[in-house]
């Protein structure tokens, strides 16, 4: 008896979409909760907010600086002079002052470069936060589908256990009536015991995968919606490796971040070299002094003064500090350049492996669908052969095992395709929530 691949694909989809609860959570619900509770994303947001302050901090070095100082003192002066006639002075008086000073940088090249660096750091922070969001999408999708695959493996193991248990019972009955040897019973028993051990491992793996998802959303997930039917993996669009590689080299978020680091490092060299340059400031001050007396007189005094001008500072020698900072900045610039090259190569590698991985997953799904047809046909043929005495119980058990293993491999290939597409889009910096929503529409409770 033959069956088409679509029949088995539908059967697999039915198994994948099995749900224990109508209120199962879907992928977007898990993702929204991860957005609220994931500490890695929260840390990235806080870092983004902190980086936004770099511009106003740097701008402050280009704007006026105004300060006010005031003082108030009570004074006492007393003296005796042994002259003829004797002079005695015993005087108390108060004195106070108020000073307002201001300066406006006219030429401070280091501050101008620092402002340019701050602007680039703020722009870079946007990509850093976007990268953290992409990372969360991938982590949620991987954890979600790891749970689904672990649940599917538990379901398959349960089905396999039930099927082998039936074979074991049949072998025992045949042995009791004398139409089979004890070997058939022992083989079925060995296969059953192996599946029991496997069942323990699959259930433990499921708990581990649920715990991994908990680490992202902060709680154990409820039942999850599974992949629905009518899903046919398609190659990436465009299906040309060069297009994806070119995009990765220019649009990959890690490459963009590394490129900003290189630009900022180049500006840092300019900033440190500015330590050799003069600075010019416009300065102004006004002060007022008043007192009810002084050491020499007990009369009230009031003095006011104001001045405005420019202040020039020319660094002549600073012990080699500036030259050392320049050499340090040059070394850090080379470090940033090499890190940019590392990011570019990683992006290229990710795009290449992602592209080939998606196409491989598409081919694997088609091949495994046909393999499942063949495995099922072989199993049914061996069942028929066992009934007429030309196949042994071990033959049936082995072909049955092949059916279940192929089902596992096919489920893994489906999930490899979905995750591969997400990783490929991440490699070119285009991964966003809409990609999760597209997958989410394929799920059902």
Distance of alpha carbon 397 from alpha carbon 379, whole angstroms: 8
Asked if 195 and 158 touch (Cβ cutoff 8 Å), the reply is: no
Helices within 17-62 (DSSP H only): 27-37, 39-51, 54-59
Q: List, for residues 133-174, the tens digit of each pLDDT value.
A: 999 999 999 999 999 999 999 999 998 888 888 878 887 887
Q: Report helix, strand and coil shares of the chain as percent, to nearest 5.
A: 65, 15, 20
Rounded to the nearest angstrom, the gap between the alpha carbon of residue 192 and the centroid of all alpha carbons in its chain is: 44
pLDDT at 130: 97
pLDDT at 83: 74
Q: Go through the chain and tell me how many residues it has.
A: 445
Angle between helices 393-427 and 5-16 (to 10 degrees): 70
CATH fold, domain 5-65+107-279+318-444, is: Outer membrane efflux proteins (OEP) (1.20.1600)
CB contact burial 185-201 (16+ within 10 A = b; e otherwise): bebbbebbeebeeebee
User: Please, how many CA atoms are within 13 Å of residue 39, restricted to the half-sphere of its CB?
Assistant: 4
Which segments of the chain have a pLDDT < 50?
Answer: 1-11, 14-15, 17-21
pLDDT at 21: 43
pLDDT at 383: 86
H or E element at residue 82 = none
pLDDT at 8: 46
Query: What DSSP line would sit under 275-340, residue for residue?
Result: GGS-EEEEEEEEEEEEES--SS--S-EEEEEEEEEEEEE-----TTHHHHHHHHHHHHHHHHHHHH
pLDDT at 336: 98
């Amino acid at each position: 008896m033959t069956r088409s691949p679509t029949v088995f694909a539908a059967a697999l989809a039915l198994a994948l979409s099995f749900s224990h609860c109508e209120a199962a959570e879907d992928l977007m619900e898990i993702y929204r909760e991860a957005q609220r509770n994931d500490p890695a994303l929260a840390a990235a947001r806080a870092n983004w907010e902190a980086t936004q302050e770099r511009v106003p901090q740097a701008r402050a070095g280009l704007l006026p600086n105004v300060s006010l100082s005031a003082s108030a003192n009570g004074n006492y002066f007393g003296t005796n002079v042994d002259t003829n006639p004797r002079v005695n002075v015993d005087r108390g008086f108060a004195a106070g002052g108020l000073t307002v000073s201001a300066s406006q940088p006219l030429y401070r090249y280091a501050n101008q470069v620092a402002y340019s660096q701050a602007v680039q750091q703020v722009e870079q922070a946007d990509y850093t936060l976007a990268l953290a969001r992409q990372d969360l999408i991938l982590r949620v999708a991987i954890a979600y589908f790891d749970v689904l695959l672990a649940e599917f493996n538990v379901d398959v193991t349960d089905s396999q256990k039930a099927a082998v248990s039936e074979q074991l019972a049949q072998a025992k009955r045949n042995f009791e009536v004398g139409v089979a040897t004890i070997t058939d019973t022992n083989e079925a028993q060995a296969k059953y015991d192996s599946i029991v051990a496997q069942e323990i491992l699959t259930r433990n793996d499921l708990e581990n995968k649920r715990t991994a998802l908990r680490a992202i959303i902060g709680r154990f997930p409820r039942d999850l919606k599974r992949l629905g039917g009518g899903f046919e993996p398609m190659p990436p669009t465009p299906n040309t490796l060069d297009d994806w590689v070119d995009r990765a080299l220019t649009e990959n978020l890690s490459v963009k971040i590394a490129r900003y680091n290189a630009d900022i490092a180049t500006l840092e060299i300019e900033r440190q070299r500015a330590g050799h340059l003069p600075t010019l400031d416009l300065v102004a001050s006004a002060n007022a002094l008043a007192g009810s007396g002084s050491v020499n007189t007990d009369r009230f005094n009031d003095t006011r003064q104001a001045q405005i001008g420019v202040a020039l500072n020319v660094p002549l020698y600073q012990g080699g500090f500036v030259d050392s900072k320049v050499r340090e900045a040059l070394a850090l610039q080379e470090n940033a350049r090499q890190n940019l090259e590392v990011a570019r190569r990683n992006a290229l590698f990710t795009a290449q492996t992602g592209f080939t991985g998606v196409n491989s997953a598409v081919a694997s799904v088609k091949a495994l669908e046909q393999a499942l047809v063949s495995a099922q046909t072989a199993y049914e043929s061996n069942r028929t052969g066992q009934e007429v005495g030309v196949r042994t119980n071990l033959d049936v058990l082995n072909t049955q095992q092949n059916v279940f293993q192929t089902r596992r491999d096919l489920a893994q290939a489906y999930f490899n395709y979905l995750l591969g597409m997400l990783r490929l889009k991440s490699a070119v910096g285009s991964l966003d929530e809409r990609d999760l929503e597209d997958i989410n529409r394929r799920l059902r409770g």
